[in-house]
Amino acid sequence: MKRTFQWMTLLIAFLLTLYAFPFSLEKPTKETIIFFPIDRTASFTKTATTLQAQPQKPHGPYSLLWTVSSSLNRNAYLRQDISLLFADGQLIGTLSKWNENNQTLLQEGEIKQKDSHFFQAISFHYGEIHRDHKITSTQSMSGDYLYVIASPYDPFTSFRRGKTAAEKEWQRVLTKTTTDFLQYNAKTMLDDLAIHVQNYYHFYLPELLAYNEQPFPDLSLEKTQKIIGNLWEGLYKNYFLGVKQKDGTIVSPIGSTMPLLLISKDYSHLIVLTKTKNGETVQLLQQISP
């Protein structure tokens, strides 16, 4: 009888443990981007981000079609692609898709727009690979840009490089509008935080595409890829998923300014600066390991 009582006690304790911690026996996979050492055996065979504009009716709203796709040369434990879309220097949309034990991802978005804009998109393609009790990762970037002219005084058109005199003028005007907007906000943010910009390599997020397959100045490609991987990990957690304001509240990044990247010339740290939709300056600081 005593032995039976002991077994019953153990059984009840076990059942209570399962009830209190119903998911403790298996950790589910979830979407995430974490930089691990680069896997040299894995590479993307295709990465693409494309923007297309389709008019709905004369001088009315139009649809901006946004497609992101990628293929890896092998299955990955986790595959994820994220993408950010900007109009005239402000974030207007995000895309994200993930899958387990897969090689290929495809996602499409559609945003209704009106008026003329300069659109820019940048995507980060990521794979987490598990093999022989080791975790590695692989990564790449892609992007696109598009000038869309939707004016009552001109026929609807879209292009990447202006060909006619009218298109070239629109390209100049929209580029200048975007540049002026970003430069004004950059100056106010740098002044607010007393950052000496001469100590940094600085550029905006879509310009990071230039370093997809080439290194930062005076740095190896391997170290450059590590910095980029860690940067995207930080951007995903602290910008893409939501921006933390000074009062601790988390707000959507939609409507914020295009992130300004500042990489210290001694490669000790990097800073990401953006202004939220309500005008608050947000600084993300990331130390760069040796």
How do the domains of the chain map onto residue ranges?
Answer: 44-164, 179-287
Q: For 194-271, where are the alpha helices, taking DSSP H only?
A: 221-235
State the burial class of residue 84 (Cβ atoms within 10 Å of its Cβ: 0-12, 13-18, 19+): buried
Please say if the pLDDT value at position 23 is more than 60: no
Residue 59 has what pLDDT?
72
Place of tokens 């509240």: 249
| Region of poorest pLDDT, from 46-50, 138-142, 150-154 | 150-154
pLDDT, tens digit, for every residue of 203-259? 999 999 999 999 999 999 999 999 999 999 999 999 999 999 999 999 999 999 999
Residue 2 has pLDDT above 60, yes or no: no
Residue 20 confidence (pLDDT):
34
Q: Are 49 and 142 in contact (CB under 8 A)?
A: yes
Q: In the prediction, which pLDDT does 26 show?
A: 33
Distance separating alpha carbons of residues 258 and 271, to the nearest angstrom: 13
Q: Which residues of 104-142 are buried (b: 16+ CB within 10 A; e: fewer)?
A: ebebeeeeebeebbbbbbbbbbbbbbeeeeeebbbbbbb
How high does pLDDT run on average in the chain? 90
Please determine, for residue 36, whether its predicted confidence score (pLDDT) is greater than 70: yes
CATH code 1.10.286 for 44-164: no
